[in-house]
Amino acid sequence: MMMMWQRFLVRKNERGILLRDGDFVRVVEPGEFRLWNWRQRYALLSFALDEPAFTHALADYLCRNEAAVVEQHFQLVELADHEVALRHENGVLAEILLPGSRQLYWRAAAGQTFTRVDLRENYALDPALVAGLTQPSLRARAVRNANAVLLVQVPENHVGLLRVDGKLLRLLPAGRYGFWRCNREIVVELVDTRLQALEVSGQDILTRDKVSLRLNLAANWQFDNVELAFARLPKPAEHVYRELQFGLRAAVGTRTLDELLENKQVIDEVVSAHMQARLAGFGVSVHGVGVKDIVLPGEMKTLLAQVVEAEKAAQANVIRRREETGATRSLLNTAKVMEDNPTALRLKELETLEKLAERIDRISVFGGFDQLLNGMVKLTN
């Protein structure tokens, strides 16, 4: 008969649930006791207090039928669909309870406090709570259900577009933010407010005289009013790109190749004026436009090279004729001076003799200096 008595033990860091034929009997405090357990009708379930949540299938039964037991041994947290709760253990955030939750926690577990948050009143988290959820990998213990919060870091020189259920609510300046994701769809889009570069490359455009050109354009643009820009434009950067294309085609397609080559600045001026007019009232502006490259077809390059070569040859011929005419006119004037002035003629003869003497190592003179000069004059003639 002694074999029918069974010893049961509940340790100090545990609580027990005694069952009879699978039904709840009572909560067992730490200690040792014996029961007449004929046919193994009794069973003892042990729960370590290291895990404060009571998640057994009996939880719903206890909440419905054992109010006194729940009041004595558990903390009951019941949340509406518009509520969340923050559970702290010994002052440290341990869990976020989701809307509609009903959960039992052992009173004998670590000191716990619960803070309810009404999601209808505010979707933004307190800054202190945001700081506690930042960098979860550096916490000694992870916060359960932390994915119920959207954490956002807005860098310097950026703003964040806060959209709740698809509606743009406000702009977020640089800083750190947290938002409740429960019962709503929250998206934060980061926008760079600094001056940004945009290149329109490889644009094949026909000039007015049917010459195909390939152009590369560069521009700098910036947001003037971020909220207005995203209210009127789904993708402002793409809109600026398309308008630059249209402006470039308007500048090139209405002019001949010669006009473009004579004044390349006209493209920049036309595109800038086009962008200023087309972007007015959209919250964005272009601060600088410039054509980087104008690429001609191969045949046109050859023709232009020939034209340039011919122009340069003609210019060289004109310069050569001008110099020859000037030299002839100078010789004629010199001859007239020497004809009327024997001294000038004599000086010219001496100059000629000096130039010849520079090229001769040795000179033998016979018949005097006058005979030498007369002979030199005959040689030059």
Q: Sorting pLDDT into bands at 50, 70 and 90, what band is 1? A: very low
Q: What is the pLDDT of residues 68-81, one digit of tens each?
A: 999 999 999 999 99
Phi-psi region of 134 (alpha: psi -120 to 50; beta: other; left: phi over 0): beta
Does position 226 have pLDDT exceeding 50, yes or no?
yes
Q: What is the pLDDT of residues 79-115, one digit of tens each?
A: 999 999 999 998 899 999 999 999 999 999 988 999 9
Report which of 113, 116, 90, 102 is spatially closest to residue 180, judged by C-alpha positions: 116
Does position 2 have pLDDT exceeding 50, yes or no?
no
What was the pLDDT predicted at 307? 55
Contacts of 225 (CB under 8 A, 6+ apart): 283
What one-character-per-residue DSSP string does 264-325 give? THHHHHHHHHHHHHHSTTTTEEEEEEEEEEEE--HHHHHHHHHHHHHHHHHHHHHHHHHHHH
Q: What is the pLDDT of residues 137-182, one digit of tens each?
A: 778 888 999 999 999 999 999 999 999 998 999 999 999 999 999 9
DSSP state of 124: B
Report which of 86, 11, 20, 87 is spatially closest to residue 49, judged by C-alpha positions: 11
Tell me which of 194-203, 216-225, 321-330 is least confident: 321-330
Strand segments (E) across the chain: 5-10, 14-20, 23-28, 31-36, 42-48, 53-54, 74-78, 83-89, 92-97, 102-106, 112-118, 149-154, 158-164, 167-172, 175-180, 186-192, 196-206, 212-223, 284-295
Mean pLDDT confidence for 199-223: 88
What was the pLDDT predicted at 37? 84
What was the pLDDT predicted at 52? 93
Q: Are 99 and 182 in contact (CB under 8 A)?
A: yes
Mean pLDDT confidence for 194-216: 88
What was the pLDDT predicted at 154? 96
Q: What is the pLDDT of residues 114-125, one digit of tens each?
A: 999 999 888 899
Does position 57 have pLDDT exceeding 70, yes or no?
yes
Tokens of 156: 């310097």
